[in-house]
Structure 1
Amino acid sequence: MHKLKSRKLWLALVLIALFTVLLWFNKVDPENYVQAVITLFGIYSGANVVTKFAKRSDNNG
């Protein structure tokens, strides 16, 4: 349950829900929706890598 407390996770989920609602109401076309979700996934994954690397560096030195 510790992983469900991540602010990055909740922000990503809220943004995906927002993008989905915008797609539902035809405010975003499907191509832009896909690009937004892929970009969001990349940012989320990159932030997790940076966080893990920073924590590992703090423990070593």
Structure 2
Amino acid sequence: MHDGVNEDPFVRMRTEWDATLSAPGDAYTVDPGQHPRLQIPPVKASGVSFLKIPVKPKAGD
């Protein structure tokens, strides 16, 4: 927070705002049939599957 903005009013405003938003259509589903190279990682004991994204840093970083 910053000067003049308290946490409670901010949280209330954000909660009301977020309630008006809809979830993006394709954000949560992936059809492996449309992405033949996509391999869904195995589900961990916690019930969560983690996507791993390889990142190659630029030279000098």
Q: Same fold (TM over 0.5)?
A: no
Could you say which structure has the larger radius of gyration? 2
Q: TM-score, length-normalised on structure 1?
A: 0.31
Between Structure 1 and Structure 2, the one with more helix by share is 1
